Structure 1
Amino acid sequence: MTEQVETQPELRTDGINLSSAAAAKVKSLLDQEGRNDLKLRIAVQPGGCSGMRYQLFFDERDLDGDIVTDFDGVEVVVDRMSSPYLNGALIDFVDTIEKQGFTIDNPNASGSCACGDSFH
């Protein structure tokens, strides 16, 4: 009898990554909104307790220089200024007794705050 090992898709280093759990949650939220023109926008802005903070929100806009990536039918948009900060980052969704929400594992961050919403 052979043991089956579940393999994770290789993470891309030249763009953003969205886990299948996060894609499923985004699809569910978009279904609740009842709109098919929205994309998940991920941006990096100055601020937060560590210097830079993440923003995740639904957006219908198309901005000049946007990088759009499709994950299981979910379009994820990153503006060109945020892109270098997010290359190789993994957006995941956790739902445990301790925590529920989107998480960002970013190899570009040299440190982060306790809340996990900002980095440097």
Structure 2
Amino acid sequence: MAEITLTPRAARRINEIMGGEPPGAMLRISVNGGGCSGFQYAFDIERERTGDDLTVERDGATVLVDPVSVQYMEGATIDFVNDLIGQSFKIENPQATASCGCGTSFSL
């Protein structure tokens, strides 16, 4: 079973975002080809999960990851950071060999 971790800060921010969405809304994180480093993370709000989604839950927050994206995110930690350049979700991915300054693009 794939291991993807959601930090308390990320769970808190997801819950804040989903508070403005219809009941049952969840965050979907996927990996797509593209971006300045080869792959990029995409964040979407979903109302439905599919049978083969990996579901990561913490403190009432739910993140969905499709099976193709899971293989690129094995061992990753999803966090939420608030620093001088702004607020964003940050994925610490042990499989990434490089990432760009934007934080949403990486290479393997």
State TM-score, norm by structure 2. Answer: 0.89
Instruction: Report the AA paired with residue 14 of structure 2.
Output: V
Question: 1:63-120: per-residue Cα shift (whole Å, max 9, x none)?
Answer: 3411112111111111000101111111111123333111111101011122221111
Aligned length: 107
- Which residue number corresponds to residue 47 of structure 1? 34
Residue 102 (structure 1) aligns with? 89
More strand by share: 2
Identity, % of aligned pairs?
38
Stretches of structure 1 lacking an aligned partner (at least 5 in a row): 1-12
RMSD, matched Cα: 1.6
Any idea what the Cα deviations from partners look like across 1:8-37, whole Å, max 9, x if unmatched? xxxxx932111101100110111122x222
Tell me by how many angstroms 1:61 deviates: 2.5
The answer as to 2:6 corresponding to 1:18 is yes
Runs (5+) with no aligned partner, structure 2:
none
Find the structure with the greater CA-based Rg: 1
Query: 2:44 maps to which residue?
Result: 57
TM-score, scaled relative to structure 1: 0.81
- Does structure 1 conserve the Cα–Cα contact (< 8 Å) formed by 2:6 and 2:57? no
